[in-house]
Structure 1
Amino acid sequence: MPNGTTPRFHARFNDTQADIRAAQALRHRCFRGGEGLDADPYDDMCRHMLVEEVSTGKLVACFRLMPFQDGTSIGDSYSAQFYELSALRDYASPMIEMGRFCIDPDAQDGADILRVAWGAMTHYVDQENIGLMFGCSSFQGTDEARYLDTFALLRDRHIAPKRWLPRVKAPKVFRFAQRLRRTPDAKRAMLGLPPLLRTYLMMGGWVSDHAVVDHDLNTLHVFTGVEIASVPPARARLLRAVATPA
């Protein structure tokens, strides 16, 4: 963020259908390439967060949020298309599914954009007393061989607690927790972590023991959860220091 009192970016919730279409257009550029709209029925059930450049109003990042009063209706989530989530039906606190997070690949200052996005998300989580934040964290491409060290690191350090562990549902998955026997190279493992997943893990997040092969979006993804009460205190203080209402 530049010096001075005026931030370069700000976050807000969508006000109009035009806001949603702008988010869908950015998502299409990021996930599918070229012009078009990345749209699905879940868009109508979500609130959409837009991060814009203050001086120009240009959309530089977006994501969508689907709230749940507790785990009883988690089967209605986007993630439930790909993961068997019955273990989370007993989750008793409010939950939020975060999805379709993307940053304009041409945008400058990606770290500042990410910080503003997480600041807005932190404010929302605190305001709504969210207990669990979850979603699908994506790796570019569908070739798991590119990420073997990263998946080995996830296997060793970040698998979900057994009481919440998602089971296999999708027809094509990579069962990295079962199949990998390698010791991860730490440097290669960290280089392979997508930025969003890295942020989740820094907050104490956990992942499924398998990755879903998603040919529609040309990604591999893992179910990811962050229990808010388990976020390390130092990390929580940093997030709340930049938390702003959207």
Structure 2
Amino acid sequence: MTALSARADVSRRLHTCVTRDPAEVERAQRLRYQVFSAEYGSDLGAVTPGLDADRFDRWCDHLIVTDGVTGDLVATTRILRQDHCPETGGFYSEGEFDLSLLLSRPGRVAELGRTCVHPDYRNGTTIGLLWSTLAGWLVEHHIDRIIGCASISMSDGGLKAWRIARHLQDRYLSAEGDRVWPRRELPHLTRSVPERPVEIPALIRAYMRLGARVCGEPCWDPEFRCADMLVLLEVRDLSDRYSRHFMRQAPGGA
């Protein structure tokens, strides 16, 4: 089987949907726990063992990708609309960053969060299906801007996180009017950061290819043992290549 036919086979097996069904949300929470606890070496402060759950989940739309052959849920992300913030007390990322300047601008904002993909399915096909479902959701809800926290493991003490943060700030920094400020600054290293090629996590690479920008300095998340960077995507600024691709696949797209 060629690589192209293998990707087509995987694509045919995978199904996507947007859900608030409690049973499906719990499956997503189990996948999130499995992926995040392994990657960040943390129990995530879980109240229920094996579940990554918080107060935001009930107000979010959950995008899921399921393997139609095995029935396994293999990828998920959640979206919180700004009009649900009165119920949640704000966006999740407002607990990590001062967003006052960014949110003062006009436009409908939604927050993307808890994005994860099972290690066996981390390929362009799975991520593409997740994004195409997101594109349909953006069209349906007339969203202008997406924000979210992009996480980087601190398992090496922060060296990798600082190298990635500096690379993203050098190449993908937002306009000054969209800057945010971390509520817990990432501890600075006592040694210099070596100059060598930076390996950007796959999901962050996907955000940047879509035209996203980082909005300032990273925040330290001690619960997840990671560094978070606030990422902003202007929906109208999606690159032509990705906009045409995703909107063509999306339900209700052109």
Settle same-fold status: TM greater than 0.5: yes
Aligned length, in residue pairs: 237
Residue of structure 2 equivalent to 1:220: 227
In the alignment, is residue 18 of structure 1 matched against residue 15 of structure 2? no
Residue by residue over 1:150-178, the C-alpha shift from the partner in whole angstroms, topping out at 9 and shown as x without a partner, is 222212121221111002322x42579xx
Residue by residue over 1:57-110, the C-alpha shift from the partner in whole angstroms, topping out at 9 and shown as x without a partner, is 2100111110125999997000000000001232322111010001112x2463
Q: 1:153 aligns with which of 146, 167, 181?
A: 167
Q: How does 1:154-193 map to 2 (within 5 A)?
A: 154-170=168-184, 172-174=185-187, 185=196, 188-189=197-198, 191=199, 193=200
In the alignment, is residue 240 of structure 1 matched against residue 243 of structure 2? no
Q: Report the TM-score, using the length of structure 1 for normalisation.
A: 0.84
Q: Report the TM-score, using the length of structure 2 for normalisation.
A: 0.82
Gaps of 5+ in 2: 1-5, 44-48
Q: 1:66 to 1:175 in 2, by over 3 A?
A: farther
- Stretches of 4+ aligned residues off by more than 3 angstroms: 1-4, 69-75, 179-185
What SS does the aligned partner of 1:134 have?
A: strand
2 CA distance for matches of 1:129 and 1:174?
A: 38
Q: 2:215 aligns with which of 208, 211, 218?
A: 208
Residue of structure 2 equivalent to 1:199: 206
Residue of structure 1 equivalent to 2:145: 132
2 CA distance for matches of 1:140 and 1:205?
A: 20
Deviation at 1:126, TM superposition (A): 1.8
Residue of structure 1 equivalent to 2:46: none
Contact in 1 for aligned 2:59/2:88 (Cα 8 Å):
no
Contact in 1 for aligned 2:178/2:215 (Cα 8 Å):
no
Matched residue type, 2:33? H
Matched residue type, 2:23? A
**CA-atom RMSD in angstroms:** 3.1
Deviation at 1:40, TM superposition (A): 0.8
Residue of structure 2 equivalent to 1:61: 75
Q: 1:112 aligns with which of 121, 125, 131?
A: 125
Deviation at 1:240, TM superposition (A): 2.1
2 CA distance for matches of 1:174 and 1:228?
A: 33
Gaps of 5+ in 1: none
Deviation at 1:30, TM superposition (A): 0.8
1 CA distance for matches of 2:108 and 2:88?
A: 11
Matched residue type, 2:13? R
Q: 1:175 to 1:98 in 2, by over 3 A?
A: farther
2 CA distance for matches of 1:132 and 1:213?
A: 24
In the alignment, is residue 29 of structure 1 matched against residue 43 of structure 2? no
